[in-house]
Structure 1
Amino acid sequence: MPQIVIENLFNLRINSSSVHRKVIEIIHENGIDWMHACGKKGRCTTCKIILKTGEENLSPPTKPELDFLKQGRLRRGERLACQAYLPTGEIVVRVGEINKFPHIDYSE
């Protein structure tokens, strides 16, 4: 069963009964506010996740992600939540400082 742990949201664990879903869809379906300025189209980097563990549980990087890596707008260990699919397994992620919402309390 796919599971997302958001480390700096007090290790919030999100389980999904459906497989092969975009990370951002799983997060939003569970009532968590997650930034996305381009409408989840892979055209910006506002939905970026900082991947701590579980890279092997995600789909391979998409063309937009590879392009952002080349441009320096994404770093190794960062993925776009709107592009990465979580077919199975667990990932542990963090919200980047620049992508935090002011109305949400984050942990360290």
Structure 2
Amino acid sequence: MPKIVVKNLDNKIISSNETSKSILNILQDNFIDWMHACGGKGRCTTCKAIILQGEENLAPLTTHEKRFVDMDALKPNERLTCQCIVEKGEIIIKVPETSKLPHMKYSD
């Protein structure tokens, strides 16, 4: 069962029985606001997350993510939450400074 811990949201823990949903969809299902300017279509990088732990539990990079890696818009420890799927286990992520929403209270 996938588990997501959002470090800078007071270590918020989100569990899901879904192994085919994106991180963004799991966050939204649990009423957590996360920036996503293109509507979750992989056309921008506003929904990116910094992967602190558990990268081995994620599905491989998608075509959209590879394109942004090639453009140097995604670092090796960053993934697009709208594209990335947690296949198993736990991941620990962080909201990057550039993607923080003004109405959310962050703990870092």
TM normalised by structure 1 equals: 0.97
Give SS of 1:92's match: strand
Deviation at 1:80, TM superposition (A): 0.2
Residue number in structure 2 paired with 1:40? 40
Measured on the aligned residues, the alpha-carbon RMSD in Å equals: 0.7
Give SS of 1:21's match: coil
Gaps of 5+ in 1: none
Give SS of 2:88's match: coil
Residue identity in the other structure for 1:48: K
**Aligned equivalents of 1:84 and 1:18: distance in 2?**
13
Residue number in structure 2 paired with 1:63? 63
Gaps of 5+ in 2: none
Residue identity in the other structure for 1:32: I
Residue number in structure 2 paired with 1:27? 27
Residue number in structure 2 paired with 1:16? 16
Residue identity in the other structure for 2:92: V
Residue identity in the other structure for 1:100: K
Deviation at 1:20, TM superposition (A): 2.1
Residue number in structure 2 paired with 1:99? 99
Percent sequence identity is: 49
Deviation at 1:87, TM superposition (A): 1.7
**Aligned equivalents of 1:78 and 1:31: distance in 2?**
22
Q: Is residue 2:101 matched to residue 1:86?
A: no
**Aligned equivalents of 1:96 and 1:19: distance in 2?**
24
